[in-house]
Amino acid sequence: MKKQPTVILAVAAALSGALLGGCEAPDVSTWISGSGGQSTTAPEGQATGEETTIPEAPSIDWNAIPETFVLAPGSEKALPHREGVTYHISAPDVATVSPDGKLAISEHAAIGSKAEVTVEYQGQTKTAQITVKSSLAETIMMVNSVPTVTNPTDLAVVVNKQRSLPVDYIPPGLTEPNVPFPFSGKAEKKLLREPAARALESLFAAAEKDGIQLYGVSGYRSYRTQKSLFDGYVKTQGAEHAARYSANPGKSEHQTGLAMDVSGADSRTRLEEPFADTPEGKWLAAHCAEHGFIIRYPKGKEEITGYAYEPWHLRYVGTTMAKEIMEKGITLEEYFQDAVAVQSQS
């Protein structure tokens, strides 16, 4: 107990001596703590009050992920990638993404099918919509000098004056839809492929609920039937009229089994342009897409389709494609031309 004043006096003497001599004062804490002169100063860069800069983690190019992708079946696309990035696909039957960011469209993905891909990294996410389309050039080949489609059974097959079906093509699964026709008995033209037949039944049932009576007029036509019909048009109304309103054999949509001409109760507008102005025609244009059909030969698009306006000619393509085509007011050809334009920029 008697040593404490001595220590205090010694410390005071040391301090006063240092100050008078212009020297830095010694570390008093080492005297009091008995640390033997060892410094307790924090290492350089860690002194109290100094800010430590933490480098930012690398990011990814979010702009490289567009709002939409338009890709063909079997195609691939590279997504931004680095360690820690994760991907999610909403429809694995349409597309997949590998851990390193390779987006692959299934070879069996239906034209018009859609999926969403979500990219996530460091708490940020971005989702892009995928639409499956292919270019028309990818589904055509020359057969005996005739441009012939390579996908005749595809629900999105495009058949027109420049794209013929195989000569011996007969569509699979032809069946008669349970809808009214303005004639009785069995007939080839009552037939449609199974998906189109069921969709036509749904369409007619919906029309009936709204007080609209529709009739099926002409569906499937074989190559032989179309040849006889076209030759008859040429003989009675001339080649020019035949080319405007009828198709050469092998180039008719009716041979696909996916097209049906329809009418209302008034026979005077049956297969005539004024059908568009009838209650039945107006209802059809407004609601056909809900059941997977489009007005295949719309008004003002004659140069694209090659045929005059036919408000009665329905073509089944499935609801996804039908809604996009009808909402945009485009033709089936333009739907695919759009895909080519988008892909050529990627």
Give the residue numbers marked as catalytic.
Answer: 310
Reference 191, options 162, 225, 157; nearest CA is 225
Q: Give the list of residues 6+ apart from residue 291 with CB closer than 8 angstroms, or none.
A: 199, 200, 202, 203, 206, 319, 322
Dihedral sign (CA 323, 328, 331, 337): negative
Distances (CA, A) of 155 to 112, 246, 249, 293: 10, 22, 20, 11
Beta bridge partner(s), residue 259: 315
Beta bridge partner(s), residue 164: 148
Q: Give the list of residues 6+ apart from residue 155 with CB closer than 8 angstroms, or none.
A: 110, 111, 195, 258, 316, 317, 318
Tokens at residue 239, please? 């080649």
**Under a CB-based contact definition with an 8 Å cutoff, are residues 122 and 59 in contact?**
yes
- Of the CA atoms within 13 Å of residue 7, those in its CB half-sphere come to 11
Q: How many angstroms separate the CA atoms of 346 and 343, rounded?
A: 5
**Under a CB-based contact definition with an 8 Å cutoff, are residues 318 and 112 in contact?**
yes
Q: How many angstroms separate the CA atoms of 26 and 17, rounded?
A: 11
Tokens at residue 265, please? 């109760």
Q: How many angstroms separate the CA atoms of 262 and 172, rounded?
A: 22
Start-to-end C-alpha separation, the chain: 89
Dihedral sign (CA 230, 231, 233, 237): positive
Tokens at residue 221, please? 């036509």
